[in-house]
């Protein structure tokens, strides 16, 4: 069991973090997407107000929590037909992602499909259940023994957004296979470019599934839009039968989201003002960093939503990681997300001062030997 997973992949960055830290102006760490801005005061107040919680919290979620999630899906995700028995809280989205294959009862020989450029937790979940992982974006090429399909839109690391039609094709193929399709959608409020003026589609959108949520699950997190990564505030919604089974298993395992966090999620989902503020902050950081990344010579792929810039100098990504570290900038190597990658990931989750400093260093390096 313990040999199914390698060393935690971020450990590979330690030597480059040390190199970047030697820069006279200090390190600019753009490698990990961990929010740095304050949790909004209204959410902090909600947590404080609910701090007196002596009893065990509901595994399936409080009535207030479930009602807020249903309302938010209708208002912000174009999903008007959810009921409260179709939602559940989770202890951050990564916990549910990593354990979903086990909770679904997948076994050796079963296939878990993930995107070709994929967040690292999907392969972890497959490994824990001793399943085969297949990286494939084309639904027509998903194997016949596929039991779970992971979609990620907007994507991490690449910021790719799947259209309603692309999601519809994925749902149709998963149903042909009898597979559960789980969609990781935690960056959906952070659309850029064309997605500034329209809502990013959910797997539960009627245009995608025609109102049939059977074997569909959408996962969401408030880590990004509400700066609640430290509170592990997340939830899932979809097939009522599937949600009921997952809640039952989680109840046995003691996987409860604390009651104060459930209350804070409800408060956060009812307040759009702080989300708009966070998006404006990230938009400004993105504009500054994106201009500098392109000026330096990077080509940017996708990156149309989310908190990352997915960029390449068309060389081994570790060479790029090293050249950035020499500038005091730490970025994530693309090989964490796809084999033989030539991309690196720049995170927008740094202070304005650090983003501006990264931009300055990239501009100062233009014209120097950097390839």
> How would DSSP label each residue in 29-69?
E-SS----SPPPHHHHHHHHHT----SPPPSS--HHHHHHH
Q: Are residues 261 and 290 in the same domain?
A: no
Residue 164 lies in a domain: yes
Q: What total of structural domains would you count in the chain?
A: 2
Residue 370 lies in a domain: no
The pLDDT of residue 371: 43
Residue where one domain finishes, among candidates 271, 302, 323? 271
pTM above 0.75, yes or no: yes
Residue 177 lies in a domain: yes
Q: pLDDT at residue 89 above 50?
A: yes
CB within 8 Å of 307: residues ≥ 6 apart: 33, 187, 190, 224, 282, 347, 348, 349
Residue 72 lies in a domain: yes
Q: Are residues 146 and 102 in the same domain?
A: yes
- Give pLDDT tens digits for 284-327: 999 999 999 999 999 999 999 999 999 999 999 999 999 999 99
CB within 8 Å of 306: residues ≥ 6 apart: 154, 155, 156, 159, 187, 190, 224
Domain encompassing residue 294: 9-38+274-365
Residue 2 lies in a domain: no
- Give pLDDT tens digits for 13-52: 999 999 999 999 999 999 999 999 999 999 999 999 999 9
Q: Are residues 262 and 279 in the same domain?
A: no
What mean pLDDT is predicted for residues 154-175? 98
Give me the DSSP letters along 198-236.
Answer: SPPP-TT-HHHHTT--TTEEEEEESTTTSS-GGGTEEEE
Phi, psi of 193, rounded to the nearest 5 degrees? 50, -125
């Amino acid at each position: 069991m313990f040999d199914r997973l390698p060393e935690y992949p971020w450990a590979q960055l330690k030597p480059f973090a040390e190199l970047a830290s030697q820069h006279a102006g200090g390190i600019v760490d753009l490698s990990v997407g961990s929010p740095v801005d304050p949790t909004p005061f209204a959410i902090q107040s909600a947590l404080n107000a609910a701090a007196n919680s002596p009893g065990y919290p509901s595994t399936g979620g409080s009535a207030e929590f479930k009602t807020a999630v249903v309302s938010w899906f209708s208002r912000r995700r174009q999903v008007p037909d959810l009921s409260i028995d179709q939602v559940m809280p989770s202890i951050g989205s990564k916990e549910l992602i990593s354990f979903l294959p086990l909770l679904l009862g997948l076994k050796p020989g079963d296939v878990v499909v993930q995107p070709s450029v994929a967040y690292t937790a999907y392969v972890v979940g497959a490994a824990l259940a001793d399943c085969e992982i297949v990286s494939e974006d084309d639904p027509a090429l998903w194997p016949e023994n596929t039991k779970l399909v992971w979609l990620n839109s907007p994507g991490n690391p690449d910021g790719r957004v799947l259209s309603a039609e692309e999601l519809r094709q994925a749902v149709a193929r998963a149903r042909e296979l009898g597979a559960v399709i789980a969609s990781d959608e935690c960056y959906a409020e952070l659309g850029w470019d064309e997605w500034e003026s329209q809502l990013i589609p959910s797997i539960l959108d009627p245009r995608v599934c025609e109102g049939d949520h059977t074997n569909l699950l959408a996962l969401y997190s408030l880590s990004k839009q509400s700066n609640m990564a430290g509170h592990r505030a997340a939830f899932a919604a979809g097939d009522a039968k599937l949600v009921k089974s997952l809640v039952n298993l989680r109840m046995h395992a003691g996987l409860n989201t604390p009651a104060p966090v459930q209350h804070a999620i409800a408060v956060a989902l009812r307040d759009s003002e702080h989300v708009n503020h966070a998006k404006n902050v990230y938009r400004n950081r993105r504009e500054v960093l994106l201009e500098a990344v392109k000026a330096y010579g990077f080509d940017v792929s996708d990156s149309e939503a989310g908190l990352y810039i997915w960029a390449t100098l068309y060389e081994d990504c570790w060479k790029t990681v090293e050249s950035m570290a020499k500038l005091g900038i730490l970025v994530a190597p693309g090989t964490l997300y796809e084999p033989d990658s030539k991309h690196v990931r720049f995170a927008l989750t740094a202070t304005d001062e650090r983003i501006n400093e990264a931009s300055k260093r990239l501009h100062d390096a233009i014209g120097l030997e950097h390839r």
